[in-house]
Amino acid sequence: MKYFNKATFASDPGNFELSIKKTRFLIPEIFSISERIRYLFRKLGMKSLIEALSEHLKYGDSQGAIVVSTEPLLIGTYNEDIDCVVMLQFSREVLERYQLQKRQQLICVNTFQAASELQQDLIPGKNYSGTWQAVHPVIADFMTDDTEKLIKRKNEIGDKGYEYIETLCEGYLKSKPEIFRNGKPFYAGQLL
C-alpha cells in the first residue's frame, strides 16, 4: 500500500477491484493524460488518483448504504466507527445509469482520518469509538464489477443492518435537511 496507513486496518475491508469503465463514468476528470501516465508507472512509485481509489476500495471499511431519495439522488452511507451516516448527493445521470430506486441497498467503502473535531455534518451515534473525526465514503456499487462480493457483503449486513441505516438517515434528514456531500470520490470528504 502506498497511500493508506499500514498501522490501521478495516474491520470489514472491501477487497473490491476498481472498474476503470465505471470510474471513467463517475469521475472522468481524473483521466487526464498525466494521470494515465502516473497510473501506468505506479510500480515505479508514481502516485496516481486511480491507484489511490483502487486502494480505497480494497483496504477501506465496507458498510451499508441506502438510497434515501431519487429527487435529488441522495444516498446515506453508514460508518460504524462514528456510528453515523454521511449523506451523499449524486447527479441525475448516476440515477439513470444505475436505475436506482428509493430504499435500494448499496455498499460503501469508508476511509477515516483523525482531526481536531468532527466534520460538521456528522452526528455521532451511541457507539462512536472516538478514534476518527473525519470519514470519506465511496459507493462501491458505482466503482466495481465485483457483483458477487457486493451481494455477499449486503447479505452480511442483512435487513436489520439496513433498517438501522435507514433510521439513521431519517434522523439525519430531520436534523440536517439541506446538508449533503458531493457523492463523487475525492469530493465526498467535503460538503456541497
Higher local confidence (pLDDT), 150 or 11: 150
Higher local confidence (pLDDT), 183 or 1: 183
User: What percent of the chain stands above pLDDT 90?
Assistant: 72
* CA separation for the pair 16, 178 (Å, rounded): 31
Helices (H), 41-191: 49-59, 92-98, 147-175
Contact 191, 179 (CB under 8 A): yes
Close Cβ partners of 101 (under 8 Å, ≥ 6 residues apart): 67, 70
Per the DSSP assignment, residues forming a β-bridge with 156 are none
**159-174: average pLDDT:** 98
Q: What angle do CA 72, 77, 80 make, to 5 degrees?
A: 160
The overall average pLDDT reported for the chain is: 90
pLDDT digits (tens, 9 = 90+) for 125-145: 999 999 999 999 999 999 999
**76-89: average pLDDT:** 97
Q: Is the pTM of this model over 0.85?
A: yes
Residue (of 160, 183, 169, 171) closest to 66 by Cα position: 169
Give the DSSP letter string of 123-150.
---TT--SS-SEEEEEEGGGTB--HHHH
Query: Strand runs (DSSP E) across 12-133, as ranges?
Result: 61-70, 73-79, 84-90, 105-113
Contact 101, 142 (CB under 8 A): no
Q: Which residue type, as a one-letter code, is found at position 129?
A: S
* C-alpha count within 13 angstroms, C-beta hemisphere, residue 76: 28
Domains of the chain with CATH codes: 61-182 (2.40.410)
Lowest mean pLDDT among 1-15, 37-51, 95-109, 159-173: 1-15
